[in-house]
Amino acid sequence: MEAEEWYARRGRLKVFLGYASGVGKSFRMFDEARRRRERGQDVVVVALQPVRSQEVNDLVEAIPEIPARLVDGVPVIDVDAVLRRHPEVCVVDGLAWDNPPGSHNAKRWQDVQQLLQAGISVLGSVNLQYIEELGDQVEKLTGKRSRHTIPRSFLNTADEIVVVDAPANFQLELQNRDVTDPGAASRQQKLSELRELALVLAADVVDQQLEQYLERHGIQELWGTQERILVCLTPRANAATMLTSGRRNADRFHGELIACYVEQPDLSQDDRVALEANLERARAMDAQVKMLYGEDPIAVIIGFARERGITQIFIGHSLKESWRDRTWGGPVDRLIRAADGIDVRVFPH
Amino acid sequence: MNETSQRGKLKVFLGYAAGSGKTYQMLEEGQELLRRGVDVVIGYFEPHGRKDTIAMTEGIPLIPRRTLEYRGTAFQEMDTAAILARRPEVCLVDEFPHTNVPGCERNKRWEDVEAILDAGIDVYTTMNVQHLESLNDQIWQITGVRVRETIPDWVLAQAAEVVMVDVTPRALLNRMERGVVYAPDKAKKALENFFQESHLAALRELALRQTAHEVDSRQTLNDGMDVNPGGATMDGQDPDSQERLLIYVTSEPSSAELIRRGKRVADYVHAECFAVSVCPSAELKNMSATQREAIERHLNFARNLHIETRLLPGEDPAEALVSFARLHEVTQIFVGRPRYSAWSPLLGRNFVHRVVRLARNMQVTIVAERHRGASAARS
């Protein structure tokens, strides 16, 4: 109940996520601020971007402001002044700023956290390239890496996250319907990949929040809104094929790849070595690797699959079966039978 | 259907619930086109009594709807012939998945839109993600609602642009609540809201992932240098694709779900996709009429999703299926999960097991029917 109480007292965080400047996040955010004011909420702007479009400026002018303090030329939210004034809602245009050295908080998102803890709600905007965990991917696309970042974990605490989506050619479209500029295509390609990243990021945040929400309400459901592939490794399984296929499918579906191994007693030395190689391969392919324990491997796999919301199980099948398995059904048959509601893909080896 | 340079471009505003602002955004862009001197018209618009949306239509010429009578009731439909005669540059069409009243030239509004595109007119349109054919089972699993008005995935895949119109479930619910009288039964309402909010969140996630997928397919299509081939071609034609997927269709009702699931996987991994059914000795006579009808219905359904279908003769379905797969260099076979009964211990002899054994170098996917509610509790 303590957690519930804490949650009830905390301010609400709503994040407007874009994938490039000019996509219209600030406009959407200030437009919401305007509408909230019209509904009687006490809204105050506490941080602005140095460069703003005319449209945004028109909206901003109508909202009261507690100006950011300039410290060494860097705008810093005046947290003390905001806490004293204690508005219902604050607007922070640009969540990913570093405060100058010597500030109470090193990062602006920590200032925001302080406001939330004081029961003040926050509307904030951020571009994809400022999410710390996406740094590598963004750098690969744009060649640039931002020093000012916010961690993904902070984004996960947002009560609401809105994607401000527009086609990647939105900037070009405004000028001319037929674009013949030779650099336009590659620019558009990059923007479009950033756009895809933003959509998937939002979907992942929504997925996590949905999971927490269902858990909080004690509901166990498997909705499969995200594909999750579980590759069952054994020493002799055709691990390379299963993992390659699993990776490809997980990427295509923007899903998750998990590899598991059910611990077996008395493995031979050769099997132990082969298994280690397979597990290593799984890690190299960026699969989450999970060791499972239990007497009945099938029951353990199915139990884990249900707990993790797995939608597809990949399993190897030996073509050389014993007469007993052929007659009574081997482990693969038992797995298929037990995997009610989950797809099973059988790989020959 | 061959793509020609004259064909109009389709732009889809994708949402996940009524009231998310799709129509508003479409009209807003229509206004922008108007300002730039583009000849834009409204082909169909559903006002739903929303004031600011109606205000957005101002100044954009409207093609009047036509009225048809069906069983004594008057229905208003989009006047496709009038749009074609008027020949605008861009036509705005609300409610893409709509089914026309009997008596129209075409059954579905998306078919009307096809005709408009074929005439070289660009179309902007709106739809919710739950109307996408391949998501039909998941939508049912989440909401308990079987959506009847569906759009085949290839129709969305051929759109030049898909834009997600995002709004959070909470904002959506707030909007609804602001419009309604406070309900006396507070507890009941809270409970309803809980279900509504979690369902909306799940639908929203699907819409976000679908848009990401649409963006992804278009990148690879636009970029000829990419080694990852684009999946958005109409028939899944893809010279670089290594994968070929075969779906085994029967008279079982679960075949529809199997087809949707198989086609979705094929689309995502850029695989070619076939669907076959096997009947003994090319002799359909021994089959009951209902079984025969069911198979034909399922194969027809597959064809509508742009899957190549065959009806194979053969006494032994597993054998016929795998021979066909081998002949067509199939890499993956999709079959439905057998219905298990408690007293059938001879699992080793079942159809699935035989397919797995015969398929040797191919992968076999056993697709399980999805359940509603307590699926996690089953085992």
Contact (Cβ atoms closer than 8 angstroms) between residue B268 and residue B231: yes
> Which comes out higher in pLDDT, residue B144 or A198?
A198
Quick one: which of A73, A31, A78, A38 has its CA closest to A56?
A31
- How many angstroms separate the CA atoms of B378 and B13, rounded? 38
Q: What is the ipTM of this complex?
A: 0.83
pLDDT by residue (tens digit) across A22-46? 888 999 999 999 999 999 999 999 9
Three-class SS of chain B? CCCCCCCCCEEEEEECCCCCCHHHHHHHHHHHHHHCCCCEEEEECCCCCCHHHHHHCCCCCECCCEEEEECCEEEEECCHHHHHHHCCCEEEECCCCCECCECECCCEHHHHHHHHHHCCCEEEEEEEHHHEHHHHHHHHHHHCCCCCCCECHHHHHCCCEEEECCCCHHHHHHHHHHHCCCCCCHHHHHHHHHHHHHHHHHHHHHHHHHHHHHHHHHHHHHCCCCCCCCCCCCCCCCCCCCCEEEEECCCCCCHHHHHHHHHHHHHHCCCEEEEEEEEHHHCHHHCCHHHHHHHHHHHHHHHHCCCEEEEEECCCHHHHHHHHHHHCCCCEEEEECCCCCCCCCCHHHCHHHHHHHHHCCCEEEEECCCCCCHHHHCC
| A-chain residues near B377 (CB < 8 A) | 220
Per-residue model confidence (pLDDT) at position B361? 87
How far, in Å, CA of B95 to CA of B363, rounded? 40
pLDDT, averaged across chain A = 88
β partners of residue B296: none
Q: Answer whether B209 sits within 8 Å of A196, measured CB to CB.
A: no
User: Which residues of chain A neighbour B367 with C-beta distances below 8 Å?
Assistant: 343
pLDDT digits (tens, 9 = 90+) for A41-75: 999 999 999 888 888 999 999 999 999 999 988 99
Collapsed DSSP state (helix, strand, coil) of residue A31: helix
- Tell me: pLDDT of B339 over 90: no
User: Quick one: average pLDDT of A245-267?
Assistant: 92
| CA separation for the pair A304, A290 (Å, rounded) | 10
Q: In this complex, do A206 and B204 lie within 8 Å of one another by their Cβ atoms?
A: yes
At A29 the three-state DSSP class reads helix
Q: Which of these ranges, A206-210, B177-181, B206-210, B275-279, has the smallest mean pLDDT?
A: B177-181
| Inter-residue contact A315 to A203 (CB < 8 Å) | no
Which range, A109-118, A180-189, B41-50, is most confident?
A: A109-118
What span, in angstroms and rounded, lies between the C-alpha atoms of B39 and B54? 20
Nearest to B368 among A164, A168, A341 (CB): A341
Measured in whole angstroms, the distance separating CA B66 from the mean position of its chain's CA atoms is 27
Q: Which residues of B touch A327 (CB under 8 A)?
A: 346, 348-349
Q: Which residues in A115-270 belong to E strands, given as ranges?
A: 121-127, 160-163, 228-232, 256-262
Is B168 in Cβ contact with A160 (below 8 Å)? yes
Residue B2 confidence (pLDDT) above 50: no
Contacting residues for A264 by C-beta, under 8 A, at least 6 apart: A297
Shortest distance, CA B184 to any CA of chain A (angstroms): 23
Contact (CB, 8 A) for B243 and B270:
yes
From A106, A107, A112, select the one nearest A124 (Cα to Cα): A112
- pLDDT band at B378, cuts 50/70/90? very low
Q: What is the pLDDT of residue A322?
A: 63
Chain A residues with beta carbon closer than 8 angstroms to that of B269: 248-249, 252
